[in-house]
Amino acid sequence: MIVLGIETSCDETAAAVVNGSREILSNVVLSQLDEHRAYGGVVPEIASRAHVQHLDGIIDRAMREADTRYADLSGIAATAGPGLIGGVMVGLVTGKAIAASTGRPLVAVNHLEGHALSARLTDGIEFPYLLLLLSGGHCQLVEVADVGTYRRLGTTIDDAVGEAFDKTAKMLGLGYPGGPAVERAAREGDPARFDLPRPLRGRPGCDFSFSGLKTAVRHAVAGLTDRVPRAKDAADLAASFQTAVGDVLADRTANALKTYAERHAHARRLVVAGGVAANGYLRERIEAVCAATDFSMSAPPPELCTDNAAMIAWAGLERLRFGLTDPLDAPARARWPLDEVCPPACRRPAGSMNTDGEDSP
């Protein structure tokens, strides 16, 4: 099987070709950082126009680099949500047009499922496993039982971890994109200088909260002598913030690992995915939690943690294997919970699932 993937859910215009042997034949990503840097964040209208302007060329390049003809494709996978609706529509409509003109099936992929299955592409891991999804718009702990079968154990009750990184970087004047900027600054900082809160740490359950942590950073910035933080102040605050995030993630993940182990005694694997999973410090913190609880941890390489089309192509390929295709009127969705990615009527028969017999809520 060979699948073309298209990803336009935010500010990366991407296309990739992946085959059933887990080979990434091409993976082309055009970043829009320069277009959005002046605004300190993604401007949806600018992102949509950039997708319209560049997507055809990106797809053409991906097909040429893969040395693949449209006649060779088994299907077309395009992100159908969640994301910025204008950008999602650009990619999905393009995928529909290619599917209609080539007679190949369309797979309307949930962007979060792309992240959820990405470690199966890179590491070939088996179901089931626990997923820690860390991105600009999501922070979740999810049981991954099979393709299209997910069970949320916890999610953020307010802001996503990636959004907290971006806002912190903006408050500290570190530039855009915020996540990498905070990580770089934190390497030179003192993580003990600022006493920041650890929301929900020590409480039962697996939910997250980052709104209060962002507010604490804002108050810390306001309490500095200089209106704009000096380099040392910014580095110390970045380090203090990143350490606080690491403490929260470690605590909530430890709770989820315990819950998951009670349900799956012999499936002790955690997958960390999403753009924030590229943060080396946070990876080390989560890996330490796994080591302490006899879990193994898998994470895609950093370039496959951030938004890319290879994971979309792979998710499409996984769904094609079970005949899960979509009509050409499949809608674009700004919101699309991962545990609603596939309605029960479309799921594989219960006897063929690697689950404990319990469906997603």
Domain locations in the chain as residue ranges: 2-120+303-352, 128-299
Backbone φ and ψ for 345, nearest 5 degrees, come out as -65, -20
Same fold, 2-120+303-352 and 128-299: yes
Q: What residues of the chain score a pLDDT lower than 70?
A: 227-228, 341-361
Contact indicator for 208, 161 with CB cutoff of 8 Å: yes
pLDDT attached to residue 360: 28
For residue 341, the model assigns a pLDDT of 64
**What CATH number was assigned to the domain covering residues 128-299?**
3.30.420.40
pLDDT the model gives residue 228:
66
Strands 106-110 and 75-81: parallel
pLDDT of residue 203: 96
Taken as a whole, the chain contains a residue count of 361
Q: Are 184 and 237 in contact (CB under 8 A)?
A: no
Which of 331, 324, 253, 322 has the alpha carbon at shortest distance from 293?
253
Structure tokens at 66: 């893969």
**Residue 346: what pLDDT?**
39
Give the tokens for residue 157.
Answer: 């009750």
Most distant pair of Cα atoms in the chain: their distance: 65
User: Considering only the top CATH level, what class is 2-120+303-352?
Assistant: alpha beta
Q: Say what the pLDDT of residue 238 is.
A: 98
As beta bridge partners, residue 141 has 132, 154
* Both structure tokens of 293: 């609880």
